Amino acid sequence: MLENYLPVLIFLGVATGIGVLLLALGFLFGGGEKDAEKLSAYECGFEPFEDSRTKFDVRYYLVAILFIIFDLEIAFLFPWAVSLDTVGGFGLIAMGIFLAILVVGFAYEWKKGALEWD
């Protein structure tokens, strides 16, 4: 029974070894001084500020949300393309409607200027 776990243990050992090796190489060959700016917190594409009630630009979040939406489109297209022969014409029409809705949303966001940086 224990011999079934041997490949898993070998895999974990190799993965741990590679991880430790890469970290060690990074510490050894990673030059450069660590100044205060490099070690400062970096969140959301903005410089950190002290007051949490300060107004900020939301365009970064809009682009991130649009990326997630259109990235999910690809997650639906791959399984559909693989099983197209089994879903037939109904699947083709359903995916056409799905893509049409996404294109309308993309055109709306483009018209509103969510994809433009000033």
Q: What are the pLDDT digits (tens) for 61-115?
A: 777 778 887 788 888 888 888 888 898 889 899 989 988 988 888 888 888 877 7
The count of other CB atoms within 10 Å of the CB of residue 67 is 10
Cβ contact 117:57 at 8 Å = no
For the residues 1-12, what does the mean pLDDT come to? Answer: 89
pLDDT digits (tens, 9 = 90+) for 18-60: 999 999 998 888 877 777 777 776 666 566 566 666 666 677 7
Give one DSSP letter per residue of 75-90, joined into a string. HHHHHHHHTHHHHHHH
3-state secondary structure of 35: coil
Domains observed in the chain: 55-118 (1.20.58.1610)
Contact 80, 91 (CB under 8 A): yes
Write down the pTM of the prediction.
0.48
